[in-house]
Chain A
Amino acid sequence: MNDIVEGMLSAFRLIFSLDRDLFEIILLSLQVTLTAVIIASIIGMPMGAWLAVNRFKFRRFTIAILNALMGLPPVVVGLIVYIMLSRSGPFGVLNLLFTPTAMVIAQVIIITPLIASISHQAIRDLWADYHDLLISLNTTKRQRILTLIKDARRSLLTGSLAGFGRAIGEVGAIMIVGGNIDHLTRVLTTAIALETGKGEFAFALALGFILIALAIIVNLAIHTISKTERASNW
Protein backbone atom coordinates (compact mmCIF):
# COMPACT_ATOMS: atom_id res chain seq x y z
CA MET A 1 0.00 0.00 0.00
CA ASN A 2 2.78 2.41 0.92
CA ASP A 3 4.12 2.00 -2.59
CA ILE A 4 0.93 3.46 -4.05
CA VAL A 5 1.07 6.59 -1.90
CA GLU A 6 4.79 6.91 -2.50
CA GLY A 7 4.11 6.41 -6.23
CA MET A 8 1.59 9.25 -6.33
CA LEU A 9 3.92 11.57 -4.47
CA SER A 10 6.87 10.81 -6.71
CA ALA A 11 4.64 11.22 -9.79
CA PHE A 12 4.02 14.81 -8.71
CA ARG A 13 7.66 15.33 -7.85
CA LEU A 14 8.70 13.97 -11.25
CA ILE A 15 6.34 16.20 -13.19
CA PHE A 16 7.25 19.37 -11.32
CA SER A 17 10.97 18.67 -11.49
CA LEU A 18 10.57 18.95 -15.30
CA ASP A 19 12.91 16.02 -15.74
CA ARG A 20 14.20 16.05 -19.31
CA ASP A 21 14.40 12.27 -19.69
CA LEU A 22 10.83 11.95 -18.47
CA PHE A 23 9.52 14.42 -21.02
CA GLU A 24 11.46 12.67 -23.74
CA ILE A 25 9.72 9.42 -22.80
CA ILE A 26 6.28 11.06 -22.60
CA LEU A 27 6.76 12.77 -25.97
CA LEU A 28 7.84 9.56 -27.65
CA SER A 29 4.85 7.71 -26.16
CA LEU A 30 2.53 10.34 -27.60
CA GLN A 31 4.35 10.55 -30.91
CA VAL A 32 4.29 6.79 -31.51
CA THR A 33 0.72 6.22 -30.35
CA LEU A 34 -0.86 9.25 -32.06
CA THR A 35 0.88 8.41 -35.34
CA ALA A 36 -0.36 4.84 -35.05
CA VAL A 37 -3.92 6.00 -34.27
CA ILE A 38 -3.97 8.36 -37.26
CA ILE A 39 -2.68 5.72 -39.67
CA ALA A 40 -4.97 3.03 -38.24
CA SER A 41 -7.94 5.41 -38.53
CA ILE A 42 -7.12 6.20 -42.15
CA ILE A 43 -7.09 2.47 -42.87
CA GLY A 44 -9.76 1.28 -40.44
CA MET A 45 -12.57 3.79 -40.87
CA PRO A 46 -13.04 3.40 -44.66
CA MET A 47 -12.61 -0.34 -44.19
CA GLY A 48 -15.42 -0.40 -41.64
CA ALA A 49 -17.64 1.80 -43.82
CA TRP A 50 -16.93 -0.30 -46.89
CA LEU A 51 -17.92 -3.44 -44.99
CA ALA A 52 -21.15 -1.82 -43.85
CA VAL A 53 -22.16 -0.64 -47.30
CA ASN A 54 -21.13 -3.58 -49.45
CA ARG A 55 -22.77 -6.97 -49.74
CA PHE A 56 -20.49 -9.77 -50.83
CA LYS A 57 -20.06 -13.47 -50.42
CA PHE A 58 -17.81 -13.73 -47.40
CA ARG A 59 -19.07 -10.61 -45.65
CA ARG A 60 -20.22 -12.31 -42.48
CA PHE A 61 -17.01 -14.31 -42.32
CA THR A 62 -14.87 -11.19 -42.89
CA ILE A 63 -16.67 -9.31 -40.12
CA ALA A 64 -16.29 -12.23 -37.73
CA ILE A 65 -12.55 -12.35 -38.46
CA LEU A 66 -12.26 -8.59 -37.99
CA ASN A 67 -14.00 -8.77 -34.62
CA ALA A 68 -11.79 -11.65 -33.56
CA LEU A 69 -8.68 -9.68 -34.55
CA MET A 70 -9.63 -7.04 -31.98
CA GLY A 71 -8.19 -9.47 -29.47
CA LEU A 72 -4.85 -9.91 -31.26
CA PRO A 73 -2.21 -10.69 -28.63
CA PRO A 74 0.31 -7.82 -28.81
CA VAL A 75 3.25 -10.10 -28.03
CA VAL A 76 2.47 -12.20 -31.10
CA VAL A 77 2.12 -9.08 -33.27
CA GLY A 78 5.43 -7.87 -31.88
CA LEU A 79 7.13 -11.14 -32.63
CA ILE A 80 5.80 -11.25 -36.21
CA VAL A 81 6.82 -7.63 -36.87
CA TYR A 82 10.21 -8.40 -35.33
CA ILE A 83 10.74 -11.37 -37.64
CA MET A 84 9.64 -9.31 -40.66
CA LEU A 85 11.91 -6.37 -39.84
CA SER A 86 14.85 -8.41 -38.57
CA ARG A 87 18.00 -8.23 -40.67
CA SER A 88 17.38 -11.87 -41.51
CA GLY A 89 13.74 -11.16 -42.39
CA PRO A 90 12.12 -10.03 -45.66
CA PHE A 91 12.16 -6.30 -44.79
CA GLY A 92 15.54 -6.31 -43.05
CA VAL A 93 17.14 -4.00 -45.60
CA LEU A 94 14.84 -1.15 -44.49
CA ASN A 95 16.78 -1.09 -41.22
CA LEU A 96 13.65 -0.30 -39.23
CA LEU A 97 14.03 -2.71 -36.31
CA PHE A 98 14.47 -1.02 -32.91
CA THR A 99 13.21 2.33 -34.21
CA PRO A 100 10.04 4.28 -33.33
CA THR A 101 8.80 3.45 -36.84
CA ALA A 102 8.81 -0.25 -36.01
CA MET A 103 6.77 0.52 -32.90
CA VAL A 104 4.26 2.49 -34.99
CA ILE A 105 3.93 -0.42 -37.43
CA ALA A 106 3.23 -2.89 -34.61
CA GLN A 107 0.65 -0.61 -33.01
CA VAL A 108 -1.09 0.04 -36.34
CA ILE A 109 -1.52 -3.72 -36.76
CA ILE A 110 -2.86 -4.06 -33.22
CA ILE A 111 -5.43 -1.26 -33.33
CA THR A 112 -6.60 -1.21 -36.96
CA PRO A 113 -9.04 -4.14 -36.44
CA LEU A 114 -10.39 -2.42 -33.34
CA ILE A 115 -11.01 0.88 -35.16
CA ALA A 116 -12.37 -0.88 -38.25
CA SER A 117 -14.74 -2.98 -36.19
CA ILE A 118 -16.13 -0.10 -34.14
CA SER A 119 -16.43 1.98 -37.32
CA HIS A 120 -18.29 -0.85 -39.00
CA GLN A 121 -20.80 -1.13 -36.19
CA ALA A 122 -21.41 2.62 -36.04
CA ILE A 123 -21.79 3.00 -39.77
CA ARG A 124 -24.00 -0.07 -40.13
CA ASP A 125 -26.58 1.56 -37.86
CA LEU A 126 -26.37 4.84 -39.71
CA TRP A 127 -26.56 3.08 -43.06
CA ALA A 128 -29.91 1.58 -42.03
CA ASP A 129 -31.22 5.16 -41.64
CA TYR A 130 -29.54 6.61 -44.73
CA HIS A 131 -29.99 3.67 -47.06
CA ASP A 132 -33.13 4.79 -48.92
CA LEU A 133 -32.05 8.41 -49.12
CA LEU A 134 -28.56 7.71 -50.46
CA ILE A 135 -29.86 5.13 -52.94
CA SER A 136 -32.58 7.47 -54.24
CA LEU A 137 -30.05 10.26 -54.72
CA ASN A 138 -28.21 7.87 -57.02
CA THR A 139 -24.92 8.33 -55.14
CA THR A 140 -21.78 6.42 -56.00
CA LYS A 141 -20.29 3.99 -53.46
CA ARG A 142 -17.52 6.44 -52.75
CA GLN A 143 -19.96 9.23 -52.03
CA ARG A 144 -22.00 6.98 -49.75
CA ILE A 145 -18.96 5.95 -47.75
CA LEU A 146 -17.76 9.54 -47.39
CA THR A 147 -21.22 10.77 -46.31
CA LEU A 148 -21.53 7.99 -43.76
CA ILE A 149 -18.06 8.63 -42.36
CA LYS A 150 -18.83 12.33 -42.09
CA ASP A 151 -22.13 11.87 -40.31
CA ALA A 152 -20.90 9.09 -38.04
CA ARG A 153 -17.85 11.10 -36.95
CA ARG A 154 -18.81 11.07 -33.27
CA SER A 155 -18.98 7.30 -33.08
CA LEU A 156 -15.86 7.02 -35.21
CA LEU A 157 -14.06 9.26 -32.74
CA THR A 158 -14.96 6.77 -30.04
CA GLY A 159 -13.33 4.09 -32.17
CA SER A 160 -10.15 6.12 -32.54
CA LEU A 161 -10.06 6.87 -28.82
CA ALA A 162 -10.48 3.17 -28.06
CA GLY A 163 -7.55 2.55 -30.39
CA PHE A 164 -5.55 5.22 -28.59
CA GLY A 165 -6.39 3.60 -25.27
CA ARG A 166 -5.20 0.22 -26.40
CA ALA A 167 -2.03 1.58 -28.00
CA ILE A 168 -0.85 3.96 -25.27
CA GLY A 169 -0.98 1.22 -22.63
CA GLU A 170 0.55 -1.47 -24.79
CA VAL A 171 3.89 -2.94 -23.79
CA GLY A 172 4.35 -6.46 -25.20
CA ALA A 173 4.75 -5.59 -28.87
CA ILE A 174 6.74 -2.38 -28.58
CA MET A 175 9.12 -4.00 -26.11
CA ILE A 176 10.05 -6.58 -28.76
CA VAL A 177 10.21 -4.35 -31.85
CA GLY A 178 11.44 -1.19 -30.10
CA GLY A 179 13.86 -2.82 -27.68
CA ASN A 180 13.31 -0.23 -24.91
CA ILE A 181 16.53 1.60 -25.90
CA ASP A 182 17.24 4.60 -23.70
CA HIS A 183 16.82 7.93 -25.52
CA LEU A 184 15.65 6.16 -28.67
CA THR A 185 12.72 3.80 -28.19
CA ARG A 186 11.94 3.97 -24.48
CA VAL A 187 8.31 4.90 -23.85
CA LEU A 188 6.23 5.08 -20.67
CA THR A 189 5.04 1.47 -20.71
CA THR A 190 8.44 -0.07 -21.39
CA ALA A 191 9.99 2.19 -18.75
CA ILE A 192 7.35 0.96 -16.27
CA ALA A 193 8.23 -2.65 -17.10
CA LEU A 194 11.92 -1.85 -16.62
CA GLU A 195 11.44 -0.16 -13.24
CA THR A 196 9.17 -2.97 -12.04
CA GLY A 197 11.95 -5.39 -12.98
CA LYS A 198 14.34 -3.41 -10.80
CA GLY A 199 11.88 -3.64 -7.91
CA GLU A 200 11.46 0.15 -7.98
CA PHE A 201 7.70 -0.11 -7.51
CA ALA A 202 7.14 3.49 -6.41
CA PHE A 203 8.92 4.90 -9.45
CA ALA A 204 7.14 2.45 -11.75
CA LEU A 205 3.82 3.48 -10.26
CA ALA A 206 4.69 7.15 -10.64
CA LEU A 207 5.23 6.55 -14.35
CA GLY A 208 1.94 4.62 -14.39
CA PHE A 209 0.04 7.55 -12.91
CA ILE A 210 1.61 9.85 -15.45
CA LEU A 211 0.48 7.48 -18.20
CA ILE A 212 -3.09 7.50 -16.89
CA ALA A 213 -3.05 11.31 -16.60
CA LEU A 214 -1.73 11.54 -20.15
CA ALA A 215 -4.56 9.35 -21.45
CA ILE A 216 -7.12 11.52 -19.67
CA ILE A 217 -5.59 14.73 -20.99
CA VAL A 218 -5.53 13.46 -24.57
CA ASN A 219 -9.17 12.32 -24.36
CA LEU A 220 -10.30 15.62 -22.87
CA ALA A 221 -8.33 17.58 -25.45
CA ILE A 222 -9.88 15.67 -28.33
CA HIS A 223 -13.38 16.13 -26.94
CA THR A 224 -12.72 19.84 -26.52
CA ILE A 225 -11.32 20.24 -30.00
CA SER A 226 -14.14 18.28 -31.62
CA LYS A 227 -16.77 20.01 -29.42
CA THR A 228 -18.49 16.78 -28.43
CA GLU A 229 -20.29 16.15 -25.15
CA ARG A 230 -21.55 19.74 -24.92
CA ALA A 231 -25.12 20.69 -24.07
CA SER A 232 -25.77 22.35 -27.44
CA ASN A 233 -24.16 19.52 -29.28
CA TRP A 234 -25.49 16.26 -27.94
Chain B
Amino acid sequence: MTLTMRILSTLSIVLIASQANAAEMKLAVTTSFNNSGLSDILLPEIKKDLGLDVQMLVVGTGQALKLGRAGDVDAILVHSKKAEEEFISQGYGTHRREIMYNDFVIIGPSSDPAKILGSNTVISAFEKIATKQHLFVSRGDDSGTHRKELSLWKAANQDLEKLDASWYRAAGAGMGATLNTASGINAYIMSDRASWLKFGNKGDLKLLFSGDPALFNQYAYLPVNPQKHSHVKIKLAEKLEAWLISEKTQKLIGKYTINGEVLFTPNAKTKVN
Protein backbone atom coordinates (compact mmCIF):
# COMPACT_ATOMS: atom_id res chain seq x y z
CA MET B 1 0.00 0.00 0.00
CA THR B 2 2.73 2.45 0.96
CA LEU B 3 4.64 1.63 -2.20
CA THR B 4 1.66 2.20 -4.44
CA MET B 5 0.86 5.41 -2.61
CA ARG B 6 4.41 6.54 -3.21
CA ILE B 7 4.21 5.70 -6.89
CA LEU B 8 0.88 7.47 -7.18
CA SER B 9 2.09 10.61 -5.47
CA THR B 10 5.35 10.72 -7.43
CA LEU B 11 3.38 10.24 -10.58
CA SER B 12 0.99 13.04 -9.79
CA ILE B 13 3.83 15.37 -8.87
CA VAL B 14 5.55 14.64 -12.17
CA LEU B 15 2.34 15.14 -14.11
CA ILE B 16 1.37 18.31 -12.27
CA ALA B 17 4.86 19.75 -12.63
CA SER B 18 4.82 19.16 -16.36
CA GLN B 19 1.66 21.22 -16.69
CA ALA B 20 2.64 24.23 -14.66
CA ASN B 21 4.76 25.87 -17.37
CA ALA B 22 2.55 28.55 -18.88
CA ALA B 23 -0.39 30.55 -17.60
CA GLU B 24 -3.42 28.38 -18.16
CA MET B 25 -7.10 28.32 -17.38
CA LYS B 26 -9.96 25.91 -17.86
CA LEU B 27 -12.95 26.98 -19.92
CA ALA B 28 -16.06 24.85 -20.33
CA VAL B 29 -17.58 25.42 -23.77
CA THR B 30 -20.54 23.89 -25.57
CA THR B 31 -20.21 21.26 -28.27
CA SER B 32 -21.71 23.60 -30.84
CA PHE B 33 -18.99 26.20 -30.25
CA ASN B 34 -16.25 23.62 -30.53
CA ASN B 35 -17.80 21.86 -33.56
CA SER B 36 -17.94 25.16 -35.40
CA GLY B 37 -14.16 25.21 -35.59
CA LEU B 38 -14.07 28.80 -34.30
CA SER B 39 -12.15 27.62 -31.24
CA ASP B 40 -9.35 26.40 -33.52
CA ILE B 41 -9.01 29.97 -34.77
CA LEU B 42 -9.34 31.70 -31.39
CA LEU B 43 -7.11 29.51 -29.19
CA PRO B 44 -3.85 30.18 -31.07
CA GLU B 45 -4.70 33.91 -31.12
CA ILE B 46 -5.27 33.86 -27.36
CA LYS B 47 -1.93 32.14 -26.90
CA LYS B 48 -0.26 34.71 -29.11
CA ASP B 49 -1.86 37.83 -27.61
CA LEU B 50 -2.12 36.86 -23.95
CA GLY B 51 0.37 34.01 -23.55
CA LEU B 52 -2.54 32.09 -22.09
CA ASP B 53 -3.22 28.38 -22.57
CA VAL B 54 -6.97 27.88 -22.59
CA GLN B 55 -7.86 24.27 -21.82
CA MET B 56 -11.28 23.62 -23.27
CA LEU B 57 -13.74 21.13 -21.86
CA VAL B 58 -16.29 20.44 -24.53
CA VAL B 59 -19.61 19.55 -22.92
CA GLY B 60 -23.31 20.40 -23.08
CA THR B 61 -24.57 23.62 -21.49
CA GLY B 62 -26.08 21.63 -18.60
CA GLN B 63 -22.76 20.00 -17.77
CA ALA B 64 -20.81 23.22 -18.31
CA LEU B 65 -22.95 24.97 -15.71
CA LYS B 66 -22.46 22.00 -13.39
CA LEU B 67 -18.66 22.21 -13.79
CA GLY B 68 -18.83 25.92 -13.03
CA ARG B 69 -20.95 25.32 -9.92
CA ALA B 70 -18.43 22.75 -8.64
CA GLY B 71 -15.54 25.15 -9.32
CA ASP B 72 -13.85 22.72 -11.71
CA VAL B 73 -13.44 25.34 -14.43
CA ASP B 74 -12.52 29.03 -14.31
CA ALA B 75 -15.15 30.28 -16.74
CA ILE B 76 -17.87 28.99 -19.05
CA LEU B 77 -19.04 29.94 -22.54
CA VAL B 78 -22.57 28.70 -23.07
CA HIS B 79 -25.93 29.51 -24.65
CA SER B 80 -28.98 29.15 -22.47
CA LYS B 81 -29.97 32.54 -21.09
CA LYS B 82 -32.44 31.33 -18.46
CA ALA B 83 -30.02 28.80 -16.97
CA GLU B 84 -27.21 31.36 -17.09
CA GLU B 85 -29.24 33.95 -15.22
CA GLU B 86 -30.04 31.38 -12.56
CA PHE B 87 -26.32 30.57 -12.33
CA ILE B 88 -25.57 34.25 -11.71
CA SER B 89 -28.41 34.81 -9.25
CA GLN B 90 -27.28 31.85 -7.18
CA GLY B 91 -23.87 33.51 -6.95
CA TYR B 92 -21.85 30.94 -8.90
CA GLY B 93 -20.79 33.40 -11.57
CA THR B 94 -19.62 36.99 -11.25
CA HIS B 95 -21.55 38.23 -14.29
CA ARG B 96 -22.85 37.30 -17.71
CA ARG B 97 -21.22 38.84 -20.78
CA GLU B 98 -22.83 38.40 -24.18
CA ILE B 99 -20.18 37.68 -26.82
CA MET B 100 -21.85 36.65 -30.08
CA TYR B 101 -24.75 34.74 -31.54
CA ASN B 102 -25.27 32.12 -34.19
CA ASP B 103 -28.46 30.42 -35.25
CA PHE B 104 -30.22 27.10 -35.26
CA VAL B 105 -31.44 25.47 -38.44
CA ILE B 106 -34.02 22.77 -39.12
CA ILE B 107 -32.66 19.79 -40.99
CA GLY B 108 -34.71 17.01 -42.51
CA PRO B 109 -34.98 14.36 -45.25
CA SER B 110 -34.42 15.90 -48.68
CA SER B 111 -37.91 14.72 -49.76
CA ASP B 112 -39.35 16.86 -46.90
CA PRO B 113 -42.33 14.59 -46.05
CA ALA B 114 -43.84 17.14 -43.60
CA LYS B 115 -43.52 19.94 -46.19
CA ILE B 116 -41.80 22.44 -43.91
CA LEU B 117 -39.87 24.03 -46.78
CA GLY B 118 -41.05 27.60 -47.18
CA SER B 119 -42.71 27.83 -43.76
CA ASN B 120 -43.07 31.39 -42.49
CA THR B 121 -41.95 30.73 -38.94
CA VAL B 122 -40.14 27.96 -37.12
CA ILE B 123 -43.27 27.46 -35.02
CA SER B 124 -45.34 26.61 -38.07
CA ALA B 125 -42.58 24.27 -39.29
CA PHE B 126 -42.67 22.48 -35.94
CA GLU B 127 -46.48 22.28 -36.09
CA LYS B 128 -46.28 20.63 -39.51
CA ILE B 129 -43.79 18.03 -38.26
CA ALA B 130 -46.01 17.31 -35.24
CA THR B 131 -49.16 16.99 -37.36
CA LYS B 132 -47.46 14.65 -39.79
CA GLN B 133 -45.81 12.88 -36.83
CA HIS B 134 -42.73 12.37 -38.95
CA LEU B 135 -39.59 11.13 -37.16
CA PHE B 136 -37.84 13.89 -35.23
CA VAL B 137 -34.64 13.42 -33.25
CA SER B 138 -34.07 15.54 -30.17
CA ARG B 139 -30.83 16.04 -28.25
CA GLY B 140 -32.66 15.07 -25.06
CA ASP B 141 -29.60 15.89 -22.95
CA ASP B 142 -30.63 19.08 -21.15
CA SER B 143 -28.19 21.08 -23.27
CA GLY B 144 -28.81 24.64 -24.44
CA THR B 145 -29.91 23.33 -27.82
CA HIS B 146 -32.30 20.86 -26.20
CA ARG B 147 -33.85 23.53 -23.99
CA LYS B 148 -34.28 25.78 -27.00
CA GLU B 149 -35.97 23.01 -28.95
CA LEU B 150 -38.35 22.26 -26.08
CA SER B 151 -39.34 25.92 -25.85
CA LEU B 152 -40.19 25.83 -29.56
CA TRP B 153 -42.37 22.73 -29.18
CA LYS B 154 -44.14 24.46 -26.35
CA ALA B 155 -44.71 27.51 -28.53
CA ALA B 156 -46.10 25.16 -31.19
CA ASN B 157 -48.73 24.02 -28.66
CA GLN B 158 -47.27 20.59 -28.08
CA ASP B 159 -47.57 18.96 -24.69
CA LEU B 160 -43.95 18.20 -23.79
CA GLU B 161 -45.00 15.24 -21.65
CA LYS B 162 -46.92 13.72 -24.54
CA LEU B 163 -44.31 13.88 -27.29
CA ASP B 164 -44.67 10.31 -28.45
CA ALA B 165 -41.60 8.10 -28.90
CA SER B 166 -43.17 6.62 -32.04
CA TRP B 167 -42.00 9.74 -33.85
CA TYR B 168 -40.22 11.94 -31.28
CA ARG B 169 -36.90 10.32 -30.42
CA ALA B 170 -34.81 11.79 -27.60
CA ALA B 171 -31.26 10.65 -28.26
CA GLY B 172 -29.70 11.83 -25.01
CA ALA B 173 -26.46 12.68 -26.79
CA GLY B 174 -24.31 15.52 -28.09
CA MET B 175 -25.03 17.41 -31.33
CA GLY B 176 -22.84 15.20 -33.50
CA ALA B 177 -24.13 11.90 -32.17
CA THR B 178 -27.70 13.15 -32.53
CA LEU B 179 -27.05 14.25 -36.13
CA ASN B 180 -25.70 10.75 -36.76
CA THR B 181 -28.94 9.31 -35.40
CA ALA B 182 -31.06 11.61 -37.56
CA SER B 183 -28.97 10.73 -40.60
CA GLY B 184 -29.39 7.04 -39.81
CA ILE B 185 -33.20 7.09 -39.59
CA ASN B 186 -33.84 10.02 -41.95
CA ALA B 187 -35.49 12.21 -39.36
CA TYR B 188 -36.01 15.92 -38.82
CA ILE B 189 -33.66 17.58 -36.36
CA MET B 190 -32.82 21.02 -35.02
CA SER B 191 -29.10 21.73 -35.09
CA ASP B 192 -26.89 24.75 -34.71
CA ARG B 193 -25.71 25.91 -38.11
CA ALA B 194 -22.02 25.35 -37.40
CA SER B 195 -22.35 21.73 -36.34
CA TRP B 196 -24.49 21.05 -39.41
CA LEU B 197 -22.06 22.66 -41.86
CA LYS B 198 -19.11 20.81 -40.40
CA PHE B 199 -20.96 17.50 -40.10
CA GLY B 200 -19.41 14.79 -42.25
CA ASN B 201 -22.22 12.19 -42.41
CA LYS B 202 -25.11 14.15 -43.92
CA GLY B 203 -26.58 11.24 -45.89
CA ASP B 204 -29.99 12.19 -47.29
CA LEU B 205 -30.44 15.12 -44.91
CA LYS B 206 -30.83 18.71 -46.10
CA LEU B 207 -31.20 22.14 -44.55
CA LEU B 208 -34.92 22.92 -44.86
CA PHE B 209 -35.59 25.93 -42.68
CA SER B 210 -33.60 28.79 -41.16
CA GLY B 211 -33.62 32.52 -40.61
CA ASP B 212 -36.43 32.98 -38.07
CA PRO B 213 -35.13 35.32 -35.31
CA ALA B 214 -36.67 32.85 -32.83
CA LEU B 215 -33.79 30.57 -33.79
CA PHE B 216 -31.04 33.00 -32.82
CA ASN B 217 -28.69 31.57 -30.26
CA GLN B 218 -26.89 33.96 -27.92
CA TYR B 219 -23.54 32.90 -26.47
CA ALA B 220 -22.44 34.36 -23.17
CA TYR B 221 -19.23 34.20 -21.14
CA LEU B 222 -19.52 33.71 -17.39
CA PRO B 223 -16.48 33.79 -15.08
CA VAL B 224 -16.86 31.55 -12.03
CA ASN B 225 -17.24 33.53 -8.82
CA PRO B 226 -14.05 33.48 -6.69
CA GLN B 227 -16.21 34.13 -3.63
CA LYS B 228 -17.65 30.64 -4.08
CA HIS B 229 -14.40 29.01 -5.15
CA SER B 230 -11.30 30.90 -4.02
CA HIS B 231 -8.99 28.86 -6.25
CA VAL B 232 -10.50 29.96 -9.58
CA LYS B 233 -8.24 32.06 -11.74
CA ILE B 234 -10.45 35.12 -11.90
CA LYS B 235 -7.63 37.39 -13.14
CA LEU B 236 -7.05 35.16 -16.16
CA ALA B 237 -10.78 34.76 -16.71
CA GLU B 238 -11.16 38.55 -16.77
CA LYS B 239 -8.19 38.92 -19.07
CA LEU B 240 -9.79 36.48 -21.49
CA GLU B 241 -13.11 38.31 -21.26
CA ALA B 242 -11.49 41.61 -22.15
CA TRP B 243 -9.86 39.90 -25.09
CA LEU B 244 -13.11 38.32 -26.28
CA ILE B 245 -14.97 41.64 -26.35
CA SER B 246 -12.08 43.58 -27.87
CA GLU B 247 -12.71 45.07 -31.30
CA LYS B 248 -10.05 42.89 -32.86
CA THR B 249 -11.54 39.62 -31.58
CA GLN B 250 -15.07 40.66 -32.43
CA LYS B 251 -13.96 41.33 -36.01
CA LEU B 252 -12.20 37.96 -36.06
CA ILE B 253 -15.41 36.21 -34.97
CA GLY B 254 -17.48 38.01 -37.61
CA LYS B 255 -15.04 37.08 -40.34
CA TYR B 256 -15.12 33.35 -39.61
CA THR B 257 -16.81 31.33 -42.36
CA ILE B 258 -17.36 27.73 -43.40
CA ASN B 259 -17.96 27.14 -47.12
CA GLY B 260 -18.39 30.89 -47.48
CA GLU B 261 -21.13 31.08 -44.83
CA VAL B 262 -20.73 33.43 -41.89
CA LEU B 263 -21.43 31.52 -38.69
CA PHE B 264 -21.27 33.94 -35.80
CA THR B 265 -22.45 37.49 -35.41
CA PRO B 266 -20.38 39.27 -32.76
CA ASN B 267 -22.51 41.43 -30.46
CA ALA B 268 -20.47 42.01 -27.29
CA LYS B 269 -21.64 44.97 -25.29
CA THR B 270 -19.44 46.95 -22.95
CA LYS B 271 -22.30 46.79 -20.46
CA VAL B 272 -22.68 43.56 -18.52
CA ASN B 273 -25.94 42.01 -17.43
Contact = CB atoms under 8 A, between A and B. Distances in A.
A99 B3 CA distance: 22
A10 interface: no
B3 A42 contact: yes
Given A87-B72, A199-B179, A201-B200, A101 B12 contact: yes
Interface string A85-105: 011110010111111110011
A101 B16 contact: yes
Contact of B19 (A42, A87, A104, A184): A184
A98 B3 contact: no
Contact of A199 (B3, B8, B12, B176): B176
A197 B198 CA distance: 11
B42 interface: no
B71 A88 contact: yes
B55 A98 contact: yes
Given A98-B57, A104-B11, A196 B16 contact: no
A87 B70 contact: yes
B148 to A, nearest CB: 19
Give the interface size class of chain B. 20 to 34
Contacts of B180: 196-197, 199
B177 A197 contact: yes
Nearest to B174: A197
B175 interface: yes
A39 B70 contact: no
Interface in A181-209: 181-182, 184, 194, 196-201
B165 interface: no
A179 interface: yes
B26 A98 contact: yes
A182 B43 CA distance: 11
Taking chain B's interface residues, is the majority helix, strand, or loop, or is none over half, making it mixed? helix
A99 B231 CA distance: 17
A88 B12 contact: no
A74 B263 CA distance: 37
A100 B15 contact: yes
Interface in B14-39: 15-16, 19, 26, 31, 35
B35 to A, nearest CB: 6
B183 interface: yes
A155 interface: no
A86 B199 contact: no
B229 interface: yes
B7 interface: yes
A99 B200 contact: no
Contacts of B56: 181-182
Given A94-B12, A98-B57, A101-B15, A88 B26 contact: no
Contacts of A97: 72
A35 interface: yes
A78 to B, nearest CB: 13
Contact of A198 (B3, B4, B71, B199): B199
B201 interface: yes
Interface in B60-90: 69-72
A87 B74 CA distance: 11
A99 B19 contact: yes
A117 interface: no
Contacts of A197: 31, 35, 174-177, 180
B234 interface: no
A43 B8 CA distance: 12
Nearest to A31: B15
A43 B4 contact: yes
Contacts of B231: 87, 95
B58 interface: yes
B3 A87 contact: no
A196 B55 contact: no
A101 B57 CA distance: 17
Nearest to B35: A198
A180 interface: yes
Nearest to B3: A42
Query: For B58, B179, B183, B198, which residue has the most chain A Cβ atoms within 10 angstroms?
Result: B58
B70 to A, nearest CB: 4
Given A42-B4, A197-B31, 13 more contacts: A42-B7, A43-B4, A86-B71, A87-B71, A87-B229, A88-B69, A98-B57, A99-B19, A101-B12, A101-B15, A196-B176, A198-B35, A199-B202
17 contacts: A42-B3, A42-B4, A88-B69, A89-B70, A95-B231, A98-B26, A101-B15, A105-B8, A179-B55, A196-B177, A197-B180, A198-B176, A198-B199, A199-B179, A199-B180, A199-B199, A200-B200
The 7 closest A-B pairs by CB, nearest first: A197-B176, A199-B201, A87-B71, A199-B200, A88-B70, A101-B12, A179-B57
